[in-house]
Chain A
Amino acid sequence: MGSKLVERKRKSRVVSPESEDEFDGGDFDGILSQSEDEFDVGSDEEHDEDEESESGGSRSGDDDGDSEILSDDIPSDIDGDDAIGKILEEQPELEIEEPGVDPKRKEEDNAGKNCRIEKDANGNERYVYDEIDPVYDSDDSDAQGPVNTIGNIPLSFYDSYPHIGYDINGKKIMRPATGDALQSLLDSIEVPKGWTGITDINTGNPLNLSQEELELVRRVQQGLLTDELQDPYPETVEYFTSIEEKMPLSAAPEPKRRFLPSKNEAKQIMKLVRAIREGRILPYKPPDEREREQEEEEEVHFDLWQNEEAAAPNPMHIPAPKLPPPGYDLSYNPPEEYLPTKEEREEWEKLDPEEREKDYLPQKYGALRKVPAWDTLVKERFERSMDLYLAPRVRKNRLNIDPNSLLAKLPSPSELKPFPTVAQTIFRGHEGRVRSVAIDPTGLVVASGGDDGAVRVWELLTGRQIWSVKLSSDEAVNAVRWRPTKDTFILAAAAGDDIFLMVPTHPSVALALEQASRDILAAGFGYATNGQQQTAPGKEPPAKWARPGAKLEDEGVLIRVTVRTTVKVISWHRRGDHFATVSPSGQRSSVAIHTLSKHLTQIPFRKLSGLAQTAAFHPSRPLFFVATQRTIRCYDLQKLELVKVVQPGAKWISCFDIHPGGDNLIVGSYDKRLLWHDLDLSNRPYKTMRFHSEAIRAVRYHKGGLPLFADTSDDGTIQIFHGKVPNDQLEHPTIVPVKILKGHRVVSKLGVLDMDWHPREPWCVSAGADGTIRLWM
Chain B
Amino acid sequence: MAKIKKKGQSGSAKNYITRTQAVKKLQLSLPDFRKLCIWKGIYPREPRSKKKVSKSATASTTFYYTKDIQYLLHEPLLQKFRDQKVLEKKISRALGRGDVSDAARFERNAARPEKTGKPRYTLNHIIRERYPTFIDALRDLDDCLSMLFLFASLPSTSAVPAKMIARCERLCQEFQHYLIVSHSLRKSFLSIKGIYYQANIQGEDILWLVPYKFNQRIMGDIDFRIMGTFVEFYMTLLSFVNYRLYTSIGLKYPPKFDQLKDEQGAELAAFSLEGVNIATDSGETKAITNGESEHGPDPKVQAEVNKLVKQLKDESSNGGTPMETDAEGGEETATDAIDKFEAAAPGGDVLPQPEESNSDPGQLFSNFTIFLSRETPRQPLEFILRAFGCKRIGWDAVLGEGSVTTDKTDPSITHQIVDRPVVRAAMAANGDGEDNQTAQKLALNQRYPGRIYVQPQWVWDSINDLELKSPELYAPGAALPPHLSPFVKSAPGAYDPTLPLDAQETEAEALDAQLADSNGEEGSDEDVENDMDVDSDDEDEDEENEDDFGGFSEGEGEEDEDEEEETTLQRQRELEAELSGKLIKSKPVDAKMKAKLEAKKALDKKAREEAEDLERAKGMLSKKKRKLFEQMQYTNNKKSAEDVKLRSKRRKLEKEKEKAKANGKA
Contact = CB atoms under 8 A, between A and B. Distances in A.
A385 B633 contact: no
B482 A378 contact: no
Contacts of A322: 142, 207
Interface string A393-429: 1100001000100111010010000000100000000
B625 A308 contact: no
Interface in A7-62: none
Contacts of A323: 142-143
B600 to A, nearest CB: 24
Interface in B206-229: 207, 211-212, 214-220, 222-223, 226-227
B586 interface: no
A377 B222 CA distance: 11
B629 to A, nearest CB: 5
A582 to B, nearest CB: 31
Nearest to B46: A392
A299 B219 contact: no
B44 A410 contact: no
Contacts of B549: 691, 737, 740
A716 to B, nearest CB: 13
Contacts of A727: none
Given A305-B137, A326-B485, A367-B455, A389 B219 contact: no
B222 A368 contact: no
A319 interface: yes
Contacts of A384: 143, 146
Interface string A296-339: 00011111110011110000100110110111101111111110
A294 B115 CA distance: 14
A389 B215 contact: no
B644 to A, nearest CB: 11
A403 B633 contact: yes
Contacts of A363: 192
Nearest to B652: A337
A552 interface: no
Contact of B216 (A302, A319, A377): A377
B383 interface: no
A294 to B, nearest CB: 8
Contacts of A737: 549-550, 616, 619-620
B420 interface: yes
Contact of B65 (A299, A316, A691): A316
Contacts of B194: 374, 377
A367 B419 contact: yes
Given A389-B37, A392-B43, A410 B190 contact: no
A382 B616 contact: no
Q: Which of A328, A338, A392 has the most CB of B within 10 A?
A: A328
A381 interface: yes
Interface in B186-242: 189-194, 196, 198, 207, 211-212, 214-220, 222-223, 226-227, 230, 239-240
Given A302-B243, A305-B137, A327-B488, A385 B230 contact: yes
Interface string A686-719: 0100010000000000000000000000000000
A759 B194 CA distance: 77
Contacts of A305: 128, 131, 133-134, 137, 240, 244
Contacts of B616: 410, 736-737
B225 to A, nearest CB: 11
Given A310-B132, A326-B189, A360-B193, A378 B150 contact: yes
Contacts of A309: 132-133
A308 B484 contact: no
A363 B254 CA distance: 41
Given A368-B419, A737-B616, A394 B46 contact: yes
Contact of A399 (B239, B553, B632, B646): B632
B43 A379 contact: no
A378 B222 contact: yes
A410 B254 CA distance: 68
A374 B193 contact: yes
Contacts of A730: none
B222 A392 contact: no
Contact of A373 (B190, B214, B479): B214
A295 B46 CA distance: 41
Q: Which of A309, A390, A736 has the most CB of B within 10 A?
A: A390
A735 B653 contact: no
Contacts of B127: 304
Contact of B653 (A336, A362, A365, A740): A336
B154 interface: yes
A379 B457 contact: no
A368 B455 contact: yes
Interface in B145-188: 146-147, 150, 154, 163
Contact of A407 (B207, B484, B617, B653): B617
Contact of A299 (B212, B239, B247): B239
A466 interface: no
A687 B619 CA distance: 11
Interface in A44-91: none
A748 interface: no
A609 interface: no
B190 A378 contact: no
Given A301-B239, A333-B457, A735 B620 contact: yes
Contact of A410 (B230, B239, B376, B620): B620
B82 interface: no
B371 interface: no
A225 interface: no
Nearest to B139: A319
B211 A328 contact: no
B548 interface: yes
B370 to A, nearest CB: 16
B45 interface: yes
Contacts of A377: 150, 193-194, 211, 216
Contacts of A92: none
Nearest to A306: B244
Contacts of A378: 150, 154, 216-219, 222
B207 A325 contact: yes
A325 B243 CA distance: 28
Contacts of B621: 406-408
Contacts of A394: 45-46
B551 interface: yes
Contacts of B63: 392
B502 interface: no
B613 A410 contact: yes
A594 to B, nearest CB: 40
A368 B456 contact: yes
B368 interface: no
A299 B242 CA distance: 13
A320 B42 CA distance: 11
Nearest to A316: B65
B34 A331 contact: no
B226 A382 contact: yes
B196 A333 contact: no
Given A368-B456, A406-B629, 12 more contacts: A303-B247, A325-B196, A325-B488, A333-B480, A336-B653, A338-B497, A338-B646, A374-B212, A381-B146, A389-B43, A393-B44, A691-B619
19 contacts: A301-B253, A305-B133, A320-B43, A320-B143, A331-B482, A332-B190, A333-B482, A334-B482, A341-B649, A372-B214, A373-B216, A388-B143, A399-B632, A403-B632, A406-B629, A410-B620, A739-B553, A740-B548, A740-B549
Which 10 A-B pairs rank lowest in CB-CB distance, beginning with the nearest?
A325-B487, A373-B214, A403-B632, A337-B649, A392-B46, A337-B650, A333-B483, A335-B482, A407-B617, A311-B132
Interface of B: 34, 37-38, 43-46, 62-63, 65, 67, 111, 122, 124, 127-128, 131-134, 137, 139-140, 142-143, 146-147, 150, 154, 163, 189-194, 196, 198, 207, 211-212, 214-220, 222-223, 226-227, 230, 239-240, 243-244, 247, 253-254, 375-377, 419-421, 455-457, 479-480, 482-485, 487-488, 497, 548-553, 613-614, 616-621, 625, 628-629, 632-633, 636, 646-647, 649-650, 653
